[in-house]
Amino acid sequence: MADGISAVQDRLIPGRSGPSGATGVRIAEIRPFALIQFAAWHDTLAQTAGEAAMAAGAKVAPGPGRTATGALGVLLRVEPLKWWLVGDAGEVLLPVAGSGAVLDLSRSRTRLHISGPQAARLLNHVLPLDLSAAAFPEGSVASTAFHHVGVTLWRDRDGFTLFLPRSFAASLFEILTASATQYGLEIA
Amino acid sequence: MSARRLDAGGRIDRTCPVSFRWDGLTYHGFNGDTLASALMANGQTVLGRSFKYHRPRGIMSAGVEESGAIVSVGAGARQEPNVKATMQELYDGLEARGQNAWPNVHFDLGAVNGLFGRFFSAGFYYKTFMGLPPFEWGRGTGLWMQYEKLIRKAAGMGAASRDADPDAYDHTHAFCDILVVGSGPAGLNAALTAAEAGRDVMLVEQDFELGGDYLNDPAAEAERAEMVAAVGRAGVRILTRTTAFGLYDCGVAGLVERVTDHLAAPDPHLPRQRFWTVRASATVLATGALERSVAFAGNDRPGVMTASAARSYLNRFGILPGQRVVIATTNDSAYGVAADLAAAGGEVTLADARDEVTSAPAGVAMRPGLAPLSTVGRRGVQGVRLATRSGNGWSQAAHEECDLLLVSGGWSPVVNLSSHRGAKPIWNGDLACFLAGPTDEPIHMAGSADGVWNREDCAASGVAAARRAMGEVVEAPAPGGWVRPIQPVYEVRLPGTKAKAFVDPQHDVIGDDVRLAHQEGFVSVEHLKRYTTLGMATDQGKMGNVIGLALMAEALGREVPAVGTTRFRPPYTPVAIGALAGRNVAGHFKPLRRTPLHDWNLRHGATMTEAGLWQRTWYFARAGETITEAYIREAATVRQTVGVCDVSSLGKIAVQGPDAAEFLNRVYTNAFAKLPIGKARYGIMLRDDGIVMDDGTTWRLGEADFLMTTTTTNAGRVMVWLEELLQTRWPYLRVHVTSVTDRWAGVSVAGPKARETIAACLELGTDISTEALPFMGVAPVTLKGGVKGLIARISFSGEQAYELYVPADQGEEMMDLLWPATEKLGGCLYGLEALGALRIEKGHVTGAELDGRMTIDDAGLGKMASSKKPYIGAALRQRPELTRADRPRLVGIFPKDRSQTFNGGALLCAKGRVSGFGEGWVTAVTHSPALGHWIGLGYIAGGHEAWAGKSVTAADPVRRGNVEVEIVSPHMFDPEGVRMHG
């Protein structure tokens, strides 16, 4: 129980649902993970970017709407002045606030990985974003809205990662999976 | 009408028979049929009864414009009224029935209305039943309220099911370069042109087959098949059974896809319908044109339909819809219909309103210069009287026997979607139709939707529209294409006669209604529409609007363009409410928020309640306890020993940066600049206008690091407010605000044994004594087992109390430590109801008191407003109106007879003067375990000092009645706060 309890624990029942045939969508929760926010001031943007990149073990911090993968985690540029560092470990030491403000947001989000041939199509049931490969290629990140709730979406090589605010996660997960069964849903 | 299915021809699959039920009897059709075509093939002519007169109605068209064959489909919870049989795809087991008729469409008692038709003119009901003389002469609507119920019952469409909708509906979003609406010759060519040029194209077709007008012409099948294959190869995304029902700002189109409405046994995982929001860079409207009728006596009789509809039934559905056919036309388009019907074995007479006829199709008898005057027959048409022009009017000239009368009064391009965007349709006198007006938006008309009549020209028009949509400057084929011009005919009647010549058959509006409206002084087409209800049925005037306009123009002695047109509004065809709701129904109507302790609370007997979007614990009833008994026990336990309450839903905002203290100092009324690290402070923030916005405590965790807490329901509002201030008012302040509400699981542990309870759960050696953690102190703590969190000594209940926060995922671990420790000391879990009782006893305010009208002084917290610094609302709270001495002030309320209770929401009035708004009101009432009787909070003018010793009545005239109360200080329990600091 060291990792605590997932917000979607009771709903995350491994198995397949939907019509027989190919599995269109796979959904898995990824936890634990560390989530650290780096926020810059207008005139320290470059400096904070450097600090964020160093914390992630990446060469440079990504520009707006993009991600960068480093040895210690993935940096997401979620706002003009803010990066999120997504770490694999359940806990990371909070870096000392350098030029900007650093904030531990771990446990505030439920992290779902959505993959499969119909993943983008499923996400478009709830997200008003153009998720075509041309408009939202691998390495893209967006702050968007799911049933009026602010969520963060990131595309990696294998699919999409959706960060849901923890308190909304169970409710939004129900909507997502109810929409997903028509494509053949596998919950890992 | 003696329709019969032909042995060959059409697009139906004769190897795939389908059985369905109509009005309780079983019939057979084929795959590829619509309900209308299958009923026609089975000899069913009367399919509905009209809205007002209950006249028998049959199939009048083959598309969305249908005004006769309007039926109910499905059974039980899935019963859907007002389905156009012409649009309902046939499937095995389909169940349909006629509507607006009793006992059935063949023999409908409501048809008696038809005998009194002369009374049922426009506005009849209002004129007759409102202020009914002599009972309500010139006044009143009392009787109307009664009559209206009967009228509603008699007039109308079908009935929806009262059961909950058992089906699921999806919402979805899509993006494309070019959206093409309509898949006829123009639409297919537009889609292909754009896709071959590399554009991402979506093609939307409301029918279940692609092809539009191609589908009605077997000779064009090869061309159609090639085009359909080509758009598929070119990567066009195709949606059939999908209606583009509306166009909106910035290239947004609303679509409804009917996913399973055509399936006998749909996969239960599929939604019934899918609501698409499409964002397109450019839109091509190849929406076609609708053939309109002519107003003449009995033009609604079963067996009268549009000429093009007959062509659809013949060529698409393999049905010869009549044996002796009269076609009455005003234009060239009916000639092809005549030729096809004659070739299929019909005896066809073609009456052309135009005098000169160039060539008659083979086997067709021509009757030039004639127009339909009236039909003969009972249930179905048996003959038609034809009229010839005489002077300015018409005179009867001939009679033809027939079992099918086809009418072509001209064509109306479907400009609805363009009109949605405010492009005003423009009348084209040569073609006798409205064409889409100019627009600055990237919307391009194509094909017959642009008044282009010939198929080759339509194809070219589609290509041109696609190229315009891609930014090229291209000349489009000019509207028109008939060899001889149309001779517009809107109504045929003999001078001085009255007849039911239907303009809008779906709403039973006749030509005389339009003239009556004119006689009664209506001039504007918008008023005409509302007075006669012309064009206000479910088809929105697809059939009748142009005729109605023309008749109004004639009555006014003007031309059609001078009368104007009404603007079309979405939806083009009706949209099910379920499709609009999507999956946001029932528990998902609003997004639902659960605290990290939600499941733990439920396992421990919580009953939940809503607080904003949150589910919060309401009370923890033990076996046999009522809510009242439960909360009184819980509140009493908190005062006696200890209680634990989930407060995770309180808003929590990280306020960070070197200017964070200065920022808070400006936002809160009291001083925050010098709040020491490790201390919390209660703060109140005002709006600009000096009214209280929210309250809460803010904790200083570091030099540039604060944690602000807000009320549960105001968290979002406060967050937005802080962002707004930072972005627009003080962008130079180095402050970031971030919501961290979801990061923490939080509890309030309150009661004389709170410290003892918590101490038992902390790592050995952790000191939370008053010395180490004084009142309003904040400190990091580690629970037994290693979970790290924050503790603050804060009290809302008035007891010795702490708020304890741990990372959300560890919330249950914290509870599994706290709960045994609490039980051991005789404590309990408590919910919002007990929390309410405790805070009312203390006179602590919440949203009920801070309701957006009250000042900080009203709430009795004026001493928290600093006079030494500026802050938001500081100036405007000094307005004279907000500083009047007689403003309502927060007070406590006791019932005079302590055994009595009173209601929240009651008005506080001076005894003997129960009137008007009174002197104040009650905001909250609870039973106080500490005081042993019911108490309340409220506001009363002047506050409790002004009412000391005076009798006050809590007046609640519609519920409890009057209760005598005393006004006391709001601090009803432990006013010195001894317990809290203990």
Q: Kindly state whether B587 is in contact with chain A, defined as any CB-CB distance less than 8 angstroms.
A: yes
Q: Kindly state whether A6 is in contact with chain B, defined as any CB-CB distance less than 8 angstroms.
A: yes
Rounded to an integer, what distance in angstroms lies between the CA atom of residue B813 and that of residue B808?
Answer: 10
Indicate the residue among B455, B479, B494 that finishes a domain.
B494
Please check whether residues B387 and B257 belong to one and the same domain: no
Q: List the one residue out of B95, B3, B110 whose CA is nearest residue B58.
A: B3
B947 in Cβ contact with B967 (< 8 Å): yes
**Segment B2-26 mean pLDDT:** 95
Amino acid identity, position B646 = D
Please check whether residues B697 and B712 belong to one and the same domain: yes
User: In A, which residues are within 8 Å of B168 by CB distance?
Assistant: 178
What pTM does this model have? 0.93
Amino acid identity, position B70 = I
User: In A, which residues are within 8 Å of B810 by CB distance?
Assistant: 4, 107
Please check whether residues A115 and A27 belong to one and the same domain: yes
DSSP bridge partners of B31: B13
Q: What is the dihedral sign for C-alpha B340, B341, B342, B343?
A: positive
Q: Kindly state whether A5 is in contact with chain B, defined as any CB-CB distance less than 8 angstroms.
A: yes
Q: Please tell me the distance in Å from A171's CA to the nearest CA on chain B.
A: 6
Contact call for A125 and B171, based on CB within 8 A: yes
In a domain, A99, yes or no: yes
Task: Give the one of B599, B738, B811 whose C-beta lies nearest to A103's C-beta.
Answer: B738
Please check whether residues A111 and A154 belong to one and the same domain: yes
Please report the pLDDT score of residue B154 as a whole number: 64
Which residue in A has a C-alpha nearest to residue B744's C-alpha? A108
DSSP tag of A24: -
Is the predicted pLDDT of residue B148 greater than 80, yes or no? no
Q: Please tell me the distance in Å from A58's CA to the nearest CA on chain B.
A: 24
In a domain, B677, yes or no: yes
A88-131 pLDDT, tens digit each: 765 566 777 689 999 999 999 999 999 999 999 999 999 999 99
Rounded to an integer, what distance in angstroms lies between the CA atom of residue A35 and that of residue A109?
Answer: 8
CATH number at residue B895: 2.40.30.110
Please check whether residues B396 and B429 belong to one and the same domain: no
Q: Count interface pairs A-B at CB distance under 8 A.
A: 132
Please check whether residues A58 and A70 belong to one and the same domain: yes
In a domain, B389, yes or no: yes
Spatial neighbors of B793 by CB under 8 A, at least 6 apart, are B680, B768, B773, B774, B775, B776, B777, B778, B801, B802
In a domain, A8, yes or no: no
Task: Give the one of A19, A109, A179 whose C-beta lies nearest to B170's C-beta.
Answer: A179
Please check whether residues A73 and A145 belong to one and the same domain: no
Indicate the residue among A48, A76, A104 that finishes a domain.
A104
Task: Give the one of B200, B595, B808 whose C-beta lies nearest to A108's C-beta.
Answer: B808
**Segment B27-42 mean pLDDT:** 97
Q: Kindly state whether B267 is in contact with chain A, defined as any CB-CB distance less than 8 angstroms.
A: yes
Query: Regarding predicted confidence, which is higher, B846 or B117?
Result: B846
Buried b / exposed e over B118-138, threshold 16 CB at 10 Å, is eebbbbbeeeebbbbeeeeee
Q: Kindly state whether B588 is in contact with chain A, defined as any CB-CB distance less than 8 angstroms.
A: yes
Rounded to an integer, what distance in angstroms lies between the CA atom of residue B543 and that of residue B504?
Answer: 7
Q: Strand B364-368 and strand B347-352: pairing?
A: parallel
DSSP bridge partners of B381: B377
In a domain, A9, yes or no: no
B944-962 pLDDT, tens digit each: 999 999 999 999 988 888 9
Please report the pLDDT score of residue B496 as a whole number: 84
In a domain, B480, yes or no: no
- B915 burial (CB, 10 Å; 0-12 / 13-18 / 19+) is exposed
**Segment B308-320 mean pLDDT:** 98
B53-104 pLDDT, tens digit each: 889 999 999 999 999 999 999 989 999 999 999 999 999 999 999 987 777 7
Please check whether residues A111 and A176 belong to one and the same domain: yes
User: In B, which residues are within 8 Å of A129 by CB distance?
Assistant: 173
Q: How confident is the model at residue A1 (pLDDT cuts 50, 70, 90)?
A: very low
User: Hey, how many other C-beta atoms are within 10 angstroms of the C-beta on B867?
Assistant: 5
User: In A, which residues are within 8 Å of B663 by CB distance?
Assistant: none
**Segment B866-895 mean pLDDT:** 96
Task: Give the one of A97, A105, A178 whose C-beta lies nearest to B740's C-beta.
Answer: A105
Rounded to an integer, what distance in angstroms lies between the CA atom of residue B384 and that of residue B295?
Answer: 14
- Extract the tokens encoding A154: 């990131």
Indicate the residue among B742, B757, B774 that finishes a domain.
B742
> How many domains does chain B contain in total?
7
User: In B, which residues are within 8 Å of A81 by CB distance?
Assistant: 736
Please check whether residues B311 and B219 belong to one and the same domain: no
B578 in Cβ contact with B169 (< 8 Å): yes
User: In B, which residues are within 8 Å of A101 by CB distance?
Assistant: 656-657, 704-705, 736
Q: List the one residue out of B47, B49, B53 whose CA is nearest residue B512.
A: B53
In a domain, A153, yes or no: yes
In a domain, B34, yes or no: yes
Task: Give the one of A106, A167, A171 whose C-beta lies nearest to B807's C-beta.
Answer: A106
Rounded to an integer, what distance in angstroms lies between the CA atom of residue B338 and that of residue B365?
Answer: 9
Say what angle helices B545-556 and B511-519 make with each other, to 10 degrees.
40
B548-603 pLDDT, tens digit each: 999 999 988 998 888 877 789 999 999 999 999 999 999 999 999 999 999 999 99
Rounded to an integer, what distance in angstroms lies between the CA atom of residue B682 and that of residue B748?
Answer: 16
In a domain, B633, yes or no: yes
Cα angle at B57 between B55 and B59, to 5 degrees?
Answer: 170
Q: How many CA atoms lie within 13 A of B830 on its CB side?
A: 31
Amino acid identity, position A129 = L
Q: List the one residue out of B82, B113, B91, B79 whose CA is nearest residue B35.
A: B91
Which residue in A has a C-alpha nearest to residue B707's C-alpha? A103
Rounded to an integer, what distance in angstroms lies between the CA atom of residue B747 and that of residue B740?
Answer: 16
In a domain, B846, yes or no: no
User: In A, which residues are within 8 Å of B270 by CB distance?
Assistant: 19, 182
**Which residues 606-635 of B are in CB contact (within 8 Å) with A?**
614
Please check whether residues A61 and A84 belong to one and the same domain: yes
Contact call for B267 and A170, based on CB within 8 A: no
Q: Please tell me the distance in Å from B647's CA to the nearest CA on chain A.
A: 13
Question: What is the residue range of B251's domain?
Answer: 171-290+411-469
B668 in Cβ contact with B683 (< 8 Å): yes
- The stretches of B352-407 forming alpha helices (DSSP H) are none
User: In A, which residues are within 8 Å of B722 by CB distance?
Assistant: none
A13 in Cβ contact with A170 (< 8 Å): no
CATH number at residue A129: 3.30.1360.120
**Segment B138-154 mean pLDDT:** 68
- Alpha carbon A148 to its chain centroid, in Å, reads 17
**Which residues 104-143 of A are in CB contact (within 8 Å) with B?**
104-109, 121, 124-130, 132, 135
Please report the pLDDT score of residue A91 as a whole number: 57
- B92 burial (CB, 10 Å; 0-12 / 13-18 / 19+) is middle
In a domain, A72, yes or no: yes
Q: List the one residue out of A107, A161, A145 whose CA is nearest residue B652.
A: A107
DSSP tag of B701: E
Contact call for B172 and A106, based on CB within 8 A: no
Indicate the residue among B125, B142, B164 that finishes a domain.
B164
**Interface mutation vs chain B, best among A81, A166, A176, A185, most B CBs within 10 Å:** A166
B234 in Cβ contact with B244 (< 8 Å): no
> How many domains does chain A contain in total?
2
B465-523 pLDDT, tens digit each: 999 999 999 998 999 999 999 999 999 999 888 889 999 999 899 999 999 999 999 88
In a domain, A21, yes or no: yes
Task: Give the one of A31, A125, A174 whose C-beta lies nearest to B588's C-beta.
Answer: A174
Q: What 3-state DSSP class applies to B243?
A: strand
Please check whether residues B331 and B446 belong to one and the same domain: no
User: In A, which residues are within 8 Å of B786 by CB distance?
Assistant: 2
Please check whether residues B149 and B43 belong to one and the same domain: yes
Is the predicted pLDDT of residue B900 greater than 50, yes or no? yes
**Which residues 742-801 of B are in CB contact (within 8 Å) with A?**
742-743, 786
Q: Strand B404-408 and strand B304-306: pairing?
A: parallel
**Segment B873-892 mean pLDDT:** 95
Contact call for B656 and A39, based on CB within 8 A: yes
User: Tokens 């509140």 appear where?
Assistant: B635
CATH number at residue B214: 3.50.50.60
**Which residues 150-179 of B are in CB contact (within 8 Å) with A?**
168, 170-175
Q: How confident is the model at residue B50 (pLDDT cuts 50, 70, 90)?
A: confident
Q: Kindly state whether A45 is in contact with chain B, defined as any CB-CB distance less than 8 angstroms.
A: no
Contact call for B591 and A168, based on CB within 8 A: yes
In a domain, A121, yes or no: yes
**Segment B40-46 mean pLDDT:** 95
In a domain, A175, yes or no: yes
User: Tokens 């920022």 appear where?
Assistant: B663
Task: Give the one of A128, A165, A175 whose C-beta lies nearest to B742's C-beta.
Answer: A165
In a domain, B789, yes or no: yes
Is the predicted pLDDT of residue A2 greater than 80, yes or no? no
Name the average pLDDT for chain B: 93
Please check whether residues B74 and B145 belong to one and the same domain: yes
Three-state SS sequence of B531-599: HHCCCCCCCCCCCCHHHHHHHHHHHHCCCHHHHCCCCCCCCCCCCCHHHHHCCCCHHHCCCCECCCCHH
Question: What is the residue range of A123's domain?
Answer: 15-31+107-187
Amino acid identity, position B175 = F
- Counted residue by residue, chain A has a size of 188
User: Which H or E run includes B836?
Assistant: helix B832-842
B631 in Cβ contact with B837 (< 8 Å): yes
Q: Kindly state whether B589 is in contact with chain A, defined as any CB-CB distance less than 8 angstroms.
A: no
Task: Give the one of B170, B583, B734 whose C-beta lies nearest to A41's C-beta.
Answer: B734
Indicate the residue among A104, A128, A156 that finishes a domain.
A104
B393-425 pLDDT, tens digit each: 899 999 999 999 999 999 999 999 999 999 999
Q: What 3-state DSSP class applies to B790?
A: strand
**Which residues 684-713 of B are in CB contact (within 8 Å) with A?**
704-705
Please check whether residues A167 and A183 belong to one and the same domain: yes
**Which residues 14-33 of B are in CB contact (within 8 Å) with A?**
none
In a domain, B339, yes or no: yes
Rounded to an integer, what distance in angstroms lies between the CA atom of residue B747 and that of residue B133?
Answer: 69
Rounded to an integer, what distance in angstroms lies between the CA atom of residue B230 and that of residue B871?
Answer: 68
- Alpha carbon B317 to its chain centroid, in Å, reads 36
**Which residues 52-81 of A are in CB contact (within 8 Å) with B?**
81
Please check whether residues A25 and A115 belong to one and the same domain: yes
Q: Kindly state whether B807 is in contact with chain A, defined as any CB-CB distance less than 8 angstroms.
A: yes
A127-182 pLDDT, tens digit each: 999 999 999 999 999 999 999 999 999 999 999 999 999 999 999 999 999 999 99
**Segment B824-840 mean pLDDT:** 97
User: Hey, how many other C-beta atoms are within 10 angstroms of the C-beta on B16?
Assistant: 12
Please check whether residues B733 and B656 belong to one and the same domain: yes
Please check whether residues B914 and B795 belong to one and the same domain: no
Which residue in A has a C-alpha nearest to residue B171's C-alpha? A125
Q: Kindly state whether B220 is in contact with chain A, defined as any CB-CB distance less than 8 angstroms.
A: no
Please report the pLDDT score of residue B529 as a whole number: 86
Please check whether residues B342 and B427 belong to one and the same domain: no
* Whole-number Cα distances in Å, B622 to B213, B631, B815, B930: 71, 11, 19, 21
Q: Kindly state whether B592 is in contact with chain A, defined as any CB-CB distance less than 8 angstroms.
A: yes
Please check whether residues B45 and B83 belong to one and the same domain: yes
Please check whether residues A115 and A179 belong to one and the same domain: yes
Contact call for A167 and B593, based on CB within 8 A: yes
- Alpha carbon B190 to its chain centroid, in Å, reads 32
A70 in Cβ contact with B771 (< 8 Å): no
- The stretches of B17-134 forming alpha helices (DSSP H) are 35-41, 112-115, 124-129
Please report the pLDDT score of residue B871 as a whole number: 97
In percent, the amount of chain B with pLDDT more than 90 equals 84
Please check whether residues A111 and A183 belong to one and the same domain: yes
Q: Please tell me the distance in Å from B595's CA to the nearest CA on chain A.
A: 6
Please check whether residues A111 and A23 belong to one and the same domain: yes
B766-823 pLDDT, tens digit each: 999 999 999 999 999 999 999 999 999 999 899 999 999 999 999 999 999 999 999 9
Q: Please tell me the distance in Å from B615's CA to the nearest CA on chain A.
A: 10
User: Hey, how many other C-beta atoms are within 10 angstroms of the C-beta on B868?
Assistant: 5
Please check whether residues B104 and B118 belong to one and the same domain: yes
Q: Please tell me the distance in Å from B727's CA to the nearest CA on chain A.
A: 12
Amino acid identity, position B177 = D
B259 in Cβ contact with B271 (< 8 Å): yes
Q: What 3-state DSSP class applies to B464?
A: helix
Indicate the residue among A104, A124, A148 that finishes a domain.
A104
Is the predicted pLDDT of residue A187 greater than 80, yes or no? yes
Rounded to an integer, what distance in angstroms lies between the CA atom of residue B710 and that of residue B700?
Answer: 15
Please check whether residues A111 and A100 belong to one and the same domain: no
Please report the pLDDT score of residue B125 as a whole number: 65
Phi/psi for B667 (5° steps) reads -80, -40
Rounded to an integer, what distance in angstroms lies between the CA atom of residue B284 and that of residue B469?
Answer: 7
Is the predicted pLDDT of residue B690 greater than 90, yes or no? yes
Q: Please tell me the distance in Å from B659's CA to the nearest CA on chain A.
A: 11
* Whole-number Cα distances in Å, B889 to B2, B695, B921, B969: 83, 18, 10, 10
B354 in Cβ contact with B483 (< 8 Å): no
DSSP bridge partners of B745: B806
User: In B, which residues are within 8 Å of A125 by CB distance?
Assistant: 170-173
* Whole-number Cα distances in Å, B206 to B145, B257, B783: 41, 8, 63
